[in-house]
Structure 1
Amino acid sequence: MKTLGSMNVDVITLFVEDFQKVKTFYQEVFGIQAVYEDEVSAVFNFANMSVNLLNISESYELMKPGTIATHESGSRFLLTIRVDDVDAVSAELKKRGVALLNGPIDRPWGVRTASFIDPAGHAWEIAQQLA
């Protein structure tokens, strides 16, 4: 049997308070449409995985007896998309009304990055490998 660490992460589910606002953000900022949608969730396919936006009201059943962190708790992870030109993508994000959290900035590990937060508080990073 394969180990879990040798398999791809297929879907990440993000819990969101304002489902419609976050769904619209994903459509407009990432330029993609949901491949599945109902009243409480929307699934967006990226090139290598899917992101499922789930209304927080439905998350408690999935996580019980665990707890759900609030939006105000701050970011606990960062999703990264590799791009060819961080500066160009940053400019496009700004045109779409997205405020950058930081960057573009050259990191000591040889990557140029910029980060932003979606309306539900999830952190995203665009990253360009430097030569």
Structure 2
Amino acid sequence: MSGPNLGKGRIDVVTLFAEELEETVSFYRKVFGLEPVYEDDHSAVFDFANISINLLRTTEAPGLMDPAVVAHAADGSRFLFTIRVEDVDAVCRELGGLGVALLNGPVDRPWGVRTASFADPAGHAWEIAQSIRK
């Protein structure tokens, strides 16, 4: 049985919900050094190198997801975005200088990667990772 073959499609945009949109947009500008490619009262879209992140005010989510509901940020994270970097420790120092608190790390993982994690103001988890395989 064949389906629509969605597995061969490219994931182009991830929509993240934010209760405090303005604070989250400000965080993305400061931490990722990006400006929105689109912005209105309810959303802001940031283009990363290989994907776009759409920050959407949580109150607007039902229009996209009804009857599904958006979990509250306090319920915990269910995913982790990873950005590869050259030097995790250097990026951690830069994040600290911006007032970003780390969730964990830097730590060497048994699979040959050094990582550290942080969260944006809406509770979305981000990881920076550096290969340390020898």
TM-score range, shorter chain: over 0.9
What is the TM-score when the length of structure 1 is the normalising length?
Answer: 0.96
Residue 81 of structure 1: which of 80, 83, 87 is its match? 83
Determine the structure 1 residue equivalent to 2:107.
105
Q: What number of residue pairs does the alignment pair up?
A: 131
Give distance in 2, aligned partners of 1:127 and 1:8: 23
Give distance in 1, aligned partners of 2:47 and 2:36: 7
Q: Helix, strand or coil for the counterpart of 1:51?
A: strand
Give distance in 2, aligned partners of 1:29 and 1:2: 38
Residue type of the alignment partner of 1:33 = E
Determine the structure 2 residue equivalent to 1:59.
61
What is the TM-score when the length of structure 2 is the normalising length?
Answer: 0.94
- 1:2 Cα deviation (Å)? 7.9
Residue type of the alignment partner of 1:23 = V
Determine the structure 2 residue equivalent to 1:19.
21
- Measured against aligned partners, the alpha-carbon deviations of 1:7-50 in whole angstroms (never above 9, x if no partner) come to 32110000000000000000000011000001110000000000
Q: CA RMSD in A?
A: 1.3
Give distance in 2, aligned partners of 1:115 and 1:65: 32
Q: 5+ unaligned residues in a row in structure 2: which ranges?
A: none
Give distance in 2, aligned partners of 1:90 and 1:40: 31
Determine the structure 2 residue equivalent to 1:30.
32
Give distance in 2, aligned partners of 1:5 and 1:96: 38
Determine the structure 2 residue equivalent to 1:93.
95
User: Relative to structure 1, is the Cα distance of residues 88 and 15 closer, same or farther in structure 2, using a 3 angstrom cutoff?
Assistant: same
Give distance in 1, aligned partners of 2:53 and 2:27: 13
Q: 5+ unaligned residues in a row in structure 1: which ranges?
A: none
